[in-house]
Structure 1
């Protein structure tokens, strides 16, 4: 698995497209800003890109008062199982870092920010590769 994070509109998706010769129009690219996150058994291509991981976190936080991290860990585990089931499969998770800046006053938005940070840590720990993209420049973290 490859985890890519960085600031909003800093070039993460462009970098992923260039790195993987991919396109947002390809069948395996899922934009979670516009769509519901598919389950691992719905992936039909060998390269799957899930863009907007923070939006998945937001939906899970809105739907669950407790246990959000466990729900997200189960999804992550299922994705990793899908990737390792066949040689040549690659999962790329793309998420915007929302943990910097002013702490939100609303409890739900603070939970979203906190859970995003924890989930991104889980993604980074599970990933083979981790890259941060700021201002269009990529930095290898892992």
Structure 2
């Protein structure tokens, strides 16, 4: 798995497209800003490259739907995706998430929770990933 993070509108998706010769129009590209990606148990793509863009939107949805246990729900998704990737040699999963943990702490509890859980989930994703990159201002930095 490859985890790519960085600021909003800093070129993460473009960097992934260039790196993997991919397109948002390909079958395996899930854009969580516009649509819903299949749930983890329904994750059955026919393509060998799957990109999930907008991981912070998934976190927001999970936070809104769950009073407690949000990190565990997200870990289950992550484990299911990693299982999918490992089942067939050559499969590649790329997660793209916008870092929402910098700046002013939101006043609303739900938004603070979203920010906190996003940070925890991004830590879990980074630990599970083989590669981690941060993209700021269109430039990538290798973290792992």
- Fold shared, TM-score > 0.5 on shorter chain: yes
SS at match of 1:24: coil
- Pair 1:102-2:70 in alignment: no
> Which deviations, in whole Å up to 9, do the C-alpha atoms of 1:83-110 show, x marking residues without a partner?
0000000000000000000000000000
Find 1:116's aligned residue among 115, 118, 140: 118
- Secondary structure in 1 aligned to 2:36? coil
Moved more, 122-131 or 34-43: 34-43
Structure 1 residue 42: Cα displacement: 2.8
Structure 1: stretches of 5+ with no match in the other structure: none
SS for the counterpart of 2:62 is: helix
Equivalent position of 2:7 in the other structure: 7
Taking structure 1 as the reference length, what is the TM-score of the superposition?
A: 0.98
Query: Which runs of structure 2 are paired with 1:27-66 in the superposition (5 Å)?
Result: 27-40=27-40, 41-66=43-68
Root mean square deviation, CA, Å: 0.7
Give the stretch that moved more between structures: 33-42 or 113-122: 33-42
Shift of 1:30: 0.4
Q: For residues 96 and 42 of structure 1, what CA distance do their matches in structure 2 show? A: 25
SS of the residue corresponding to residue 30 of structure 2 reads: strand
In 2, distance between residues paired with 1:112 and 1:56?
Answer: 10
Structure 2: distance between partners of 1:124 and 1:83: 16
Shift in Å, 1:39 = 2.9
SS in 2 for 1:93: strand
SS at match of 1:42: coil
| Consecutive unaligned residues in structure 2, runs of 5 or more | none
